[in-house]
Amino acid sequence: MKIAYLARGMSAALMVLALAGCGGDDASPAVATAQSGKLSALRAAGNAVSAAPMSATAPVHVALVLKLNDEAGLNRFIEHARTPGSAGFGAVLTSAQIAAQYAPTTAQVATVKAYLASKGFTNIKVADNNMIVEADAPAGVISGVFRTTLVPVAMADGTGTHINTAPETVPDAISGVVRGVLGLDTATRLRPNFVRASNAAAAPTANASPTISAVTVGHNPTQFPGIYSVGSTPTAANTTIGIIAEGDVTQSVIDLATFESHNQLPAVPVSVIHAGLASADTSANIEWSLDSQTIVGMSGGLKQLNFYVARSFAWSDIALAINRAVSDNTARVINMSIGGCENWAPTAAIDTLFQLAVAQGQTFSVSSGDSGSVAYGCNGTSVQYPATSPYVVAVGGTTLYTNGNGNYAGETAWEASGGGISGFEPIPSWQSNVPALKGRASRGMPDLAFDADPNSGAQIIVGGQLETVGGTSLSAPLFSATWARLLSGSCTTSLGFAAPRIYSVQSTTASIFHDITNGSNGAYSAGSGWDFVTGWGTPNVSLLYSSLCGSTSVSYSGGINEGTTLKPGQAVYSASRNHQLLMQGDGNLVLYNTTNGAAVWNTRTYGNAGAYAVFQNDGNFVVYSANGAVLWYSATYGQSGSQHLSVQDDGNMVIYQSFVPVFATATGTSSYAISASGSAVWNGGVVLSSGQSFTSGNGANVLIMQGDGNLVLLRQGVPIWNSGTYGHSGAFGVMQGDGNLVVYSPAGAPLWNSGTGGNSGATAYIQDDGNVVIYTQRPSWSSNTAGV
């Protein structure tokens, strides 16, 4: 029987680089090495891995994650949907569209079910979106079907689990459909990323770095909107948030109601949705209380809060909860404050589920971890999954300082903030222009940060008692609530997956985010711009909202004329929309390459919320602050004639002096009236054939291509100028795109030209005064970004 070996590494969608330890399509040594490393890590953590196999009759539950159909097509859709400037930017698919085009078909699912049943599997269940098939079988059957050995593991916490000692394989009968087999290893588990404040740190801690009076203290979650400058950003009242949870969340739901009552908040509707069997485990209740109370406090209110509850922290159970959130497709933001060592995670299978979430416009907000640059359960510099997935937003942590009034006073990198470079996931397109990631092929994380230090953490209710708790389990729900606010605002249907939006708006280091430049997580230090500890930093939410969701109802194509004002959120696009000049909500005027989201030029006027740009009637292009102070200008005032600003497809932004004459017949006179219709216009690329003519608006002047080959200007029927090209019957005239006016013989030989080549876009005017003039435009200022 032919066997397909399951690779440890990337999904097919991401298999664009061969990284050590990623695995492959066969039983490579790297896959076996990874499995051996996983076993060693379990033993090193104090877990007893048996040398003897499990009893052949011991029950085992597996979850088979299936492959997508036309995965390449889905990836193309996702790439367009998350590429600024793309025609499909922000587009999403409905659940029905995914089912019709990309999800496993009924026939494919039936093949898997039939095969499992033929081998003795029972209790076979299929997820609503056909992505996961669950089944039960004795350990002996499991070992035989997937060609591996299962051994018991006695965990250090007293629970019993199991693990496969060799990489699993999938029989040929279903290998074309199955992406990954989960449940063979229940010993490798995720963990919640919360940290309790220590008793020693209960008193406020002073720090002179942000301000002299800055302290670290715990905060009621309702204080975070003020600390992170929510301002007029709407509440999340129109948005549903999901929480990936585990065990019995009953007490956390009770604690949330108590929190709402104590803070006089309206009760948020809550649903508890079990993915798989229920569990009595309450060991992580503090996590779910932290998630839910932080989300409600930061969001200002929700449409709905859904707990998607797994039976355990094993990947097979967590996958069911993730897929239920994706399949339901009601939560626009899903919080995930848990993770595990990337080295041992089933990245290919789980990424498949996250892919669908991104296609649907959902955003998973995932904590980056609480053990610095060495992920929990790993050895050496490492990162945590699923924070490293390119289909989620990874949220790191800071230490937050506030002043005596509880206002924001600064932040430093939290020493335990997870961050670094993935060993398995390729760099997504929206990260490729980050300076700190230049030349790298792998995903960097985190993407941004929020408060995480337990000493400046959230004061929440746990089991009816007040506790101060932090960790990136605080950071992730703070972002979840923030993004839900934006989704409830003026751009409800257009934001989609959050990550590319964040990178697009923060392509230059600007004041939308508090740039965290002090502190480290061990191997990495915070620094200017994006870094491996805090990403872009922490957001000023009101500026983020105005930049992403401000008025974009007005946009201009190609350019603008004198007298035009660009308000925050308004833009000028090049003709093909591959470049965009955007007046951002933070006050910065930025020229973007929309094909990759890179900022190629800016006025460096960030930090001035409400600023606007004016292309004045004197030809000067000026950025003004909200109170009218000049922040930047092009110094193009005082030019003769009018000017216009052009955003070009070559990436250059140019202010042109318009109507600069480069040729004239010098036949003008003031004896004729100027008509309302004005001059006749001979545009570039237009051919004037024998017998054809242009007539000025007042009817007095005619430029005709005569049958004898002469181009003649007549005033009241009297010739006043000609090209001297008679004797060439059938000759024709062309106003060329290069600005040259040429008379050609019938054979195409040039007979006469105006000598105005090199003036691309020039135009000839047959004026009412009897003059024929070729006008061009001359640059008076440029961003010097052609080709960028």
Positions annotated as catalytic residues are 255, 274, 287, 291, 473
Query: What is the phi/psi pair of residue 638, to 5°?
Result: 85, 5
- Which residues are CB-neighbours of 734 under 8 A, at least 6 positions away? 685, 686, 687, 688, 741, 742, 744
| Bridge partners, residue 581, by sequence | 572, 591
Query: What is the phi/psi pair of residue 486, to 5°?
Result: -65, -40
Nearest in space to 551 (alpha carbons), one of 622, 510, 491? 491
In whole angstroms, give the CA distance from residue 65 to residue 616: 60
Q: Is 487 helix (H, G, I), strand (E, B) or coil?
A: helix
- Which residues are CB-neighbours of 498 under 8 A, at least 6 positions away? 363, 365, 393, 483
Nearest in space to 657 (alpha carbons), one of 644, 647, 675? 644
In whole angstroms, give the CA distance from residue 728 to residue 748: 11
Which region holds residue 21: left if phi is over 0, alpha if psi is between -120 and 50, else beta? left
Packing angle, helices 347-359 and 315-328, rounded to 10: 10
For the chain, the first-to-last Cα distance in angstroms comes to 55
In whole angstroms, give the CA distance from residue 564 to residue 307: 50
In whole angstroms, give the CA distance from residue 447 to residue 469: 22
In whole angstroms, give the CA distance from residue 353 to residue 132: 10
- Which residues are CB-neighbours of 489 under 8 A, at least 6 positions away? 233, 234, 545, 549
Cβ density class 13-31: b for 16+ within 10 Å, e for less: bbbeeebeebbbeebbebb
DSSP string covering 251-278, please? HHHHHHHHHHHHTTPPPPPEEEEESSS-
In whole angstroms, give the CA distance from residue 515 to residue 156: 41
Secondary structure of 107-127 in the HEC alphabet? HHHHHHHHHHHHCCCEEEEEC
Are 569 and 546 in contact by the 8 Å Cβ rule? The answer is yes
Secondary structure of 130-178 in the HEC alphabet? CCEEEEEEEHHHHHHHHCCCEEEEECCCCCEEEEECCCCEEEHHHHCCE
How many helices, marked H, and strands, marked E, lie in the chain? Answer: 14, 52
In whole angstroms, give the CA distance from residue 316 to residue 321: 9
Which region holds residue 198: left if phi is over 0, alpha if psi is between -120 and 50, else beta? beta
- Owner of token pair 């600005």: 739
Nearest in space to 499 (alpha carbons), one of 357, 627, 641? 357
